[in-house]
Structure 1
Amino acid sequence: MNKRLAILAGLIRIKLTLAVALSATIGYVFSGAGDILTALMVALGVLLLSSASSVLNQIQELKQDALMERTAQRPIPSGEITVKQAMLIFLTLLFAGTVVLLGINFISAIVGITTILLYNGFYTPLKKKSSLAIFPGALVGALPPMIGWVGAGEPIMHPAIIMLSGFMFLWQIPHFLLLAIKYREQYLNAGFQISVGGPASKQTRRLLLLWVLTTSFAALFFPFFGLVQNTFIVAAIILLNCLLIFAFFRIAFTNYEMALKGKLHGFVSIYMLLFLLLIAADSLILNL
């Protein structure tokens, strides 16, 4: 039983899917809604759909996964599960996730399915053809908070959720670029198209600097437009962004070895988690 659970966890990439579910839940909390049952349904529905997307992605990239050290031990390329079994799991998760989101409302299910179509139908095949795949990939990462937002019954084109999703889009770019740096040779050997050199490349560092500064600047718009109001939360966001910029210069410009080992990628990921928790905390405080 433990082995089966371990295989399933690897197949759905449990850490990634939990992070996606969290971002969707924060989109719900960000709306000001406070129904715990609906919030749990949002988290579950997105977790199931994200898991389905991950399974389909591993089916689509079976050959590429087998060529890369970081993915060769995933359940399908390692032979722990067959493509047929994986496809059955995908269909089950897809159906279950869609039903859960339909139980909230129709629009949240539509946004959820659209996310899968973008990720598996557009981003995944485009990665093998163009480095520009990073942009539709970033768009996919921007949609989960919107699922939570519309799950709360809020309009999909509201400026607040557009700003949050836009911020998530911006953050995805350095996130993808740093992964490409860390696993550059593996990606190239597997046939993926990437546009960055090693961390010592001046062009790479300038590109990363542009996106990190843009992301940090966008984060400061939240208190500026009144989307974050608590004084302590605002101060924490400012401090967090100062730490992001400091860490970027410290690692990317002076310690290439740390960048190669993914230290900067890890910091950027922690930054996003803390930022989302801060804006969620602000919404909870305002609605107490």
Structure 2
Amino acid sequence: MNLSSKISTLFELGKIKIAIPIAISCFTGYLLHSPEFSWNLGFVVFGILLIVAGASALNHIQEYKKDALMNRTKFRPIPSGKISISEAVKWSVFFLLLGCGLLAWGGNTTSLWIAIFSIFWYNLVYTPLKQVSAFAVVPGALSGAFPPLIGYVAAGGHFLDLPILALSFFFFIGQIPHFWLLLLLYGDEYKKGGFKVLTDVFSVKQIHNITLIWMLATIMVALLLPVFDVFSSKILIWSLLAMSLWIIPNSFILLKNYDRITIRKLFLRLNLYFLIVMIMISIDRLYF
């Protein structure tokens, strides 16, 4: 395997496409308390990137047999034979140790312990729970709330401060429709892999209705962020309102269209909504 193929395999093993937006959420949490660029900020964000990569690699190891059963995952590094389990373990440990080291260097002990707990929660609670309950995504959504919290605490904030509790709650709520939109796209695949899915409990129509409720809840929580001092700029608050009013009617399409193209578009819009909110918070903290 040449160097570019090796790097590509490691990026896939560490789910770099997922790790980057998670690291951005940590970056947002850090700026929420300490609105300035510094070396410590870089250490913390890159540390979280590596911790996510390590936890993701461990997740690959935990689920490689199930991944081999699903069309969308059978070409992942381990089931496809691009990397051995023993090598994946080594990279997972390397990513986790280096990531924790960088976080401890740029942050503090409290942020490190929260990060260690988040690894435990994702790999030892959420991952096994997916095989037991169709509602595993609800406790699993906590995984999305940890990174901004870690960034905020690493910058010197307290984990019970209202701004970070509000922001973390926004990420927690938003993880649920994010996953259920994926379920609507790949539910049959998950079922083939042996995971418990909502289609075992609800009809497709009911899942669409429930997902819409969670989408609207996510938007409502976002609109409450200025109340908890996450935003201060009136321009950005009005921009948040305008963006929310744009995505709300788009969300109601779930009640009419059940095709994959519609669901995929809404999934991308939800991700874009989160990205723009993070960018707006960062701009608010740095320039207002």
Superposition TM-score, scaled by structure 1 size: 0.95
Partner of 2:271: 269
Partner of 1:6: 8
Partner of 1:43: 45
CA contact (8 A) 2:30 2:151 kept: yes
CA change 1:199–1:131 in 2 (3 A) is: closer
CA change 1:260–1:128 in 2 (3 A) is: farther
Task: Map 1:197-208 to 2 at 5 A.
Answer: 201-208=204-211
Partner of 1:231: 234
Partner of 1:87: 89
Partner of 1:216: 219
Superposition TM-score, scaled by structure 2 size: 0.95
How many percent of aligned residue pairs carry the same amino acid? 35
Is 2:167 the counterpart of 1:164? yes
CA contact (8 A) 1:28 1:149 kept: yes
Partner of 2:180: 177
Task: Map 1:1-288 to 2 at 5 A.
Answer: 1-103=3-105, 104-196=107-199, 201-250=204-253, 252-258=254-260, 262-286=264-288
CA contact (8 A) 1:62 1:76 kept: yes
Offset of residue 209 of structure 1: 1.8
Corresponding pairs, count: 285
The CA distance in 2 between the partners of 1:277 and 1:198, in whole Å, is 37
Report the secondary structure of 1:130's partner residue: coil
The CA distance in 1 between the partners of 2:177 and 2:159, in whole Å, is 26
* CA-atom RMSD in angstroms: 1.7
Give the letter aligned to residue 174 of structure 1. Answer: P
Report the secondary structure of 1:61's partner residue: helix
Report the secondary structure of 1:220's partner residue: helix
Offset of residue 116 of structure 1: 0.6
CA contact (8 A) 1:230 1:282 kept: yes
- Cα deviation 1:183-219 (Å, max 9, x = unaligned): 0100001111111489983311220121111111111
Give the letter aligned to residue 265 of structure 2. Answer: K
The CA distance in 2 between the partners of 1:169 and 1:260, in whole Å, is 24
- Cα deviation 1:197-244 (Å, max 9, x = unaligned): 899833112201211111111111112343311111011100111122
CA change 1:198–1:247 in 2 (3 A) is: farther
CA contact (8 A) 2:174 2:215 kept: yes
CA change 1:94–1:68 in 2 (3 A) is: same
CA contact (8 A) 2:35 2:285 kept: no
Structure 1 runs not aligned, ≥5 long: none
The CA distance in 1 between the partners of 2:164 and 2:235, in whole Å, is 22
Report the secondary structure of 1:262's partner residue: helix
The CA distance in 2 between the partners of 1:269 and 1:225, in whole Å, is 23
The CA distance in 1 between the partners of 2:39 and 2:275, in whole Å, is 23
